[in-house]
Chains A and B, each alone.
Chain A
């Protein structure tokens, strides 16, 4: 069965670039989490990029926050860049997650 989300990983000199796209919702969140657990292996820096998003919900926002918390705990930096359609951006801002949209641009 084809997944309705996509996660790309690129490793480069201790930097791990993660690109999320598609349906980033509760229906796929468990698979996304498992994938991340398997791929985030003691990086020096994690650059998260979120683009071509069809939909997202709180579970994905929490997932991003969780990666950030892992970074704090394990001593690596996490930078997030989100390019979202206007309606989703507005949804995040109205829910108090505007800070996620304002973080530094991550490499792709």
Chain B
């Protein structure tokens, strides 16, 4: 049970940290933004409260100090500065560490935390200057006109699940008492007897009478983290302080003994001012908003989504079997039903995959941190611009994409963008730019990372490749082919780094990792101007729209997203071809015969040759197959470990009749051909 709660708290806190980081980045650009300051304060407050609740005591203690800083900021006692933001970024790393490790046990970690807290406290001492204090007084003076005490009735009716979400309502009620004179009424009549008690559920309801000079919004702010998990009413009941008066005590006693909640009307009979109507109206609006929000989104574990996607994949396979059965039996009723099921399963598949998509934004924060921290370390001034961060991708793709992207960005900062002096000398602005751009392109997503740094000198690359024996000394390569050498294993070694601006460090690994998620990576660069790295990715990994083809006695699937056209050629056209290049519509295309690739026997003369034109790395290549069977929704199953090392097949699919069709990785097929050539 405890593990479940703690895990949930950690999961939610990670979201909180993400939000915190995002707010900090924005605050760095707009240091006076009160909304952002409030957002950061709330995140700290939430981490502190949850930490204490779930036994993350060191986390709670640590965030308490940070919360104090941002409490000062929001109250005007402290101004946001770059130092404060840097301190908070470092603190986020520490919070991340505390969330992963729980309470610290190693002496070294405890000492580090103490030192960190001292840094925070010192920060408060140093920055609490008299001028700051004066500004607070001024602010207080401005509010003096509103400081007369009023009395409110707060009705706090939490949902049963409140406690499981990491909230300790005792602290909320304690916070209300900090606002002024308050009297809490706890209604416990719904708590069941021990035999039927669900110990982690909430059964209590509270009403609190508070007399305070704070505004109604200040009162509501106390409940801000639980507003989705409770019904909350805050009603003005008197224009003066009434808590502690005998008449109020009598009303409270009556409510407790009858278990009937007090209403604002109960206080109308008193000698104090009647309830104002406006706050109640606002409460109603808030209740509606809360209800709307509750159904707008929900948290589901990724494990459950994986299960759903697997089930939908299985359904697609079964549906293919049913289609085959319907075709063979020619029963119009079954054919009609099968068509309907096919439509539904396609819709279901699209919905299930839509659910499993997550925004790229979820990972971008890490990249922003990397750029910020690394550029500060290296005294470089870099503007990191993100376009298309809200684009969504399969979560499995995003998980596998993070490392290659971090690698590319690191290279860009380390070796692409120059120091400000160097940039000025080169006639550039002292501030470098890295642009991260994501967008849709047909059935693919393209991610481009470009910088306006040094760029890559192709001559240096070529000489290195010759020196390393990767190409012959007299080889004739165009610029693109030379830059492609960066992705060849064995090229990227540490000694290359200084000579070619660091580009190429581990780029073979980047390409391999991108290929593992059926993506392609290409590079373009202009010496002195900058570098562009493009990554083309599929939207999803487990089901693809494929073209089913036959080669020999086997069936294969070619992803439709990779297909440009299909030609039916006369055999004579191939006979006239030279060096596996065929002329179609006056254009020359290289081609691959899959019979040769899969070592099938030579086919006896055919009347028509089916050539599928496949796109990869901006080039079109023909792929000859025996027969094109048709379009096929393919559930891609991973290959077992024995077949993992082969390079042309990316997976397998079970056909309707139970046979297996291999899914061809067209990118690797064409790439291998190029290497062999």
Known contacts A23-B55, A66-B197, A94-B174; is-contact A28 B191 (Cβ 8 Å): no
1/0 per residue, CB under 8 A from A, across B1-29: the answer is 11001100000000000000000000000
CB-contacts of B167-184 with A (<8 A): 168-171, 173-174, 176-177, 182, 184
1/0 per residue, CB under 8 A from A, across B50-62: the answer is 0011110000000
Looking at B200-208, B472-480, B644-652, the stretch in contact with chain A turns out to be B200-208
Contacting pair B200 A69 (CB below 8 A): no
CB-contacts of B201-246 with A (<8 A): 202-204, 206, 208
B584 located at the interface, meaning its Cβ lies under 8 Å from any Cβ of chain A in the complex: no
Contacting pair B170 A62 (CB below 8 A): no
B185 located at the interface, meaning its Cβ lies under 8 Å from any Cβ of chain A in the complex: yes
Inter-chain contacts of B168 with A (CB < 8 A) = 57-58
Contacting pair B170 A30 (CB below 8 A): no
What's the Cα separation between A92 and B177 when bound, in Å? 12
Contacting pair B194 A96 (CB below 8 A): no
Contacting pair B204 A58 (CB below 8 A): yes
Set A4, A26, A74, A95: member contacting B200, Cβ < 8 A: A26
Contacting pair A69 B192 (CB below 8 A): yes
Contacting pair B193 A73 (CB below 8 A): yes
Inter-chain contacts of B193 with A (CB < 8 A) = 66, 69-70, 72-74
Set A37, A61, A91: member contacting B195, Cβ < 8 A: A37
Inter-chain contacts of A103 with B (CB < 8 A) = none
A63 located at the interface, meaning its Cβ lies under 8 Å from any Cβ of chain B in the complex: yes
Known contacts A28-B2, A58-B204, A70-B194; is-contact A94 B173 (Cβ 8 Å): yes
Contacting pair B174 A29 (CB below 8 A): no
What's the Cα separation between A15 and B194 when bound, in Å? 18
Inter-chain contacts of A73 with B (CB < 8 A) = 193
Inter-chain contacts of B6 with A (CB < 8 A) = 27
B273 located at the interface, meaning its Cβ lies under 8 Å from any Cβ of chain A in the complex: no
Known contacts A27-B5, A66-B194, A96-B186; is-contact A57 B170 (Cβ 8 Å): yes
Contacting pair A26 B170 (CB below 8 A): no
Q: Work out how many contacts link A and B, with CB atoms closer than 8 A.
A: 102
- The interface centre, meaning the residue of A32, A37, A58, A72 with most chain B CB atoms within 10 A of its CB, is A58
Contacting pair B184 A27 (CB below 8 A): no
B199 located at the interface, meaning its Cβ lies under 8 Å from any Cβ of chain A in the complex: yes
CB-contacts of A12-63 with B (<8 A): 23, 25-33, 36-37, 40, 55, 57-59, 61-63
Closest to A71 in B: B193
Known contacts A26-B5, A58-B170, A95-B186; is-contact A66 B192 (Cβ 8 Å): yes
Inter-chain contacts of A58 with B (CB < 8 A) = 163, 168-170, 202, 204
Inter-chain contacts of B200 with A (CB < 8 A) = 26, 29-30, 59
Inter-chain contacts of A31 with B (CB < 8 A) = 1
Contacting pair A65 B188 (CB below 8 A): yes
A67 located at the interface, meaning its Cβ lies under 8 Å from any Cβ of chain B in the complex: yes
Closest to B171 in A: A91
Set B5, B185, B199: member contacting A96, Cβ < 8 A: B185
A6 located at the interface, meaning its Cβ lies under 8 Å from any Cβ of chain B in the complex: no
What's the Cα separation between A40 and B194 when bound, in Å? 10
| Nearest CB of A to B269, in Å | 23
Contacting pair B184 A96 (CB below 8 A): yes
What's the Cα separation between A65 and B40 when bound, in Å? 37
Inter-chain contacts of A69 with B (CB < 8 A) = 191-194
Contacting pair B194 A67 (CB below 8 A): yes
What's the Cα separation between A32 and B2 when bound, in Å? 13
Inter-chain contacts of B169 with A (CB < 8 A) = 58, 95
| Nearest CB of A to B384, in Å | 41
Set B2, B171, B173, B188: member contacting A27, Cβ < 8 A: B2
CB-contacts of B37-95 with A (<8 A): 52-55
| Nearest CB of A to B201, in Å | 8
Inter-chain contacts of A94 with B (CB < 8 A) = 170, 173-174, 176-177, 182, 184
| Nearest CB of B to A56, in Å | 8
What's the Cα separation between A90 and B170 when bound, in Å? 10
Contacting pair A27 B174 (CB below 8 A): no
What's the Cα separation between A93 and B161 when bound, in Å? 23
| Nearest CB of B to A13, in Å | 22
Known contacts A33-B197, A57-B168; is-contact A27 B206 (Cβ 8 Å): no
Known: A37-B195, A58-B169. 11 other contacts (CB 8 A): A26-B53, A26-B200, A27-B55, A29-B199, A30-B199, A32-B199, A33-B194, A33-B199, A57-B170, A61-B204, A73-B193
Question: Which B residues fall within an 8 A CB radius of A?
Answer: 1-2, 5-6, 52-55, 163-164, 168-171, 173-174, 176-177, 182, 184-186, 188, 191-195, 197, 199-200, 202-204, 206, 208
